[in-house]
Amino acid sequence: MPLPPYLHCLTLPTPFPVGPVNVYLAEGEALTLIDTGPKADLTRTALLAGLAALGYKPAALRQIVLTHHHVDHIGLAGELATASGAAVITHPQTAPWLANYDDQRLRQEPFYRNLWVEAGAPDDILAAMKTASDSAAHWTDGAAATQLVDEGDTLTLGNEPWQVFHTPGHAGSLICLWEPNTRTLLANDHLLRDISSNAIVEPPPNRHGPRPRRLLDYLHHMRRMAALNPAVALPGHGEPVREVAALVARRARFHHRRAQKILGIVSEAPRTLWELTQPLFPRLTRPLDFFLAMSEVLGHLDLLEADGLVAPRPAGSVVRWTRVAAALDYTISHDPATA
């Protein structure tokens, strides 16, 4: 089934290792841009050229929809909104990042520092990750969200109603958009064809309560989107996904196998999160890679803990993960491939 004729993908270069980002333009009574790319000269140049090729300037925009708060998706929102007067539409958890990205980053900094200290990460790694985090706000300008949307809401794209799904996992703020007649899913970073989205560790949204278990969220919401039976899922990076159910099954099997591998390591002796990350990702060099790798391993530990197979045990200033003795004869029951 072809894409809706009013929907166009603009693939924009970024200065980040993830490579290009896909943004989408929906023609209709309210010309709508879904995501913007980061605030970078090469991205802006490509976006303006892409709009011009379709016959538009930024001033023609009437809606800017932002799928989640990461800088490669929201960075140009401020200047585009200023140029056009467009409504800025996003999830409530994205809005504070739009208003003041650096303020939100600083609010979260103690959470991450405590988490990585407990993980046993070396001081030089902590310092490198902080330096990388400090530079993130460079890639975005402030913007005011003028409309908040959440699970169950509807947006008009191309004069058609699109359903909003809140799908935390890769980010707690992430939304997908669904058009049932053409069975088109605007999946942004929730579903990527060639790489698995990292379920990034985050503090609780209100800074109270338990830490969200983002990998468990991610697996759950992937299954929800697969149950819609999309004809195509349009991603934030890379090529469209035509076989969504098969992709979700592969992702689930991957995470199941990785959790089993971590369980085997923990069964030999208790390990800190950092000690578990090293054998799984031995060639990391970039600060962001350390952050993503520890996020991923922590997600698999959360999966194992949810099945009663491992538990965190304080050991001085660090936390070591140990296999639960009562579970020595068990395998992982929470198999995401069949749940």
Return the CATH number at 184.
3.60.15.10
Q: Is residue 83 part of a domain?
A: yes
What are the φ and ψ backbone dihedral angles of 58, each rounded to 5 degrees?
-55, -30
Q: Return the axis-axis angle of helices 287-306 and 244-268, rounded to nearest 10°.
A: 80
Q: Is residue 185 part of a domain?
A: yes
How many domains is the chain built from?
Answer: 1
178 beta partners: 163, 185
What is the mean pLDDT of each successive set of 10 residues along the chain, which is 339 residues long?
88 95 97 98 98 98 98 97 98 96 93 95 92 89 95 97 97 97 97 92 86 96 97 97 96 95 94 95 87 95 96 95 69 47
- pLDDT value of position 70: 96
> How far is the C-alpha of 290 from the C-alpha of 294, rounded, in Å?
6
pTM for this structure?
0.93
Residue the block writes with tokens 């952050």: 291
- pLDDT value of position 135: 86
> What domain range is 197 assigned to?
7-100+139-249
- pLDDT value of position 335: 46
Q: Is residue 276 part of a domain?
A: no
- pLDDT value of position 1: 60
Q: Is residue 125 part of a domain?
A: no
CA angle 68, 293, 14 (to 5 degrees): 45
Q: Is residue 300 part of a domain?
A: no
For residue 212, give the H/E element and its range: none
Q: Is residue 157 part of a domain?
A: yes
Structure-token pair, residue 155: 């947006």
Among 15, 10, 46, 1, residue whose Cα is nearest residue 31: 10
Structure-token pair, residue 270: 């208790």
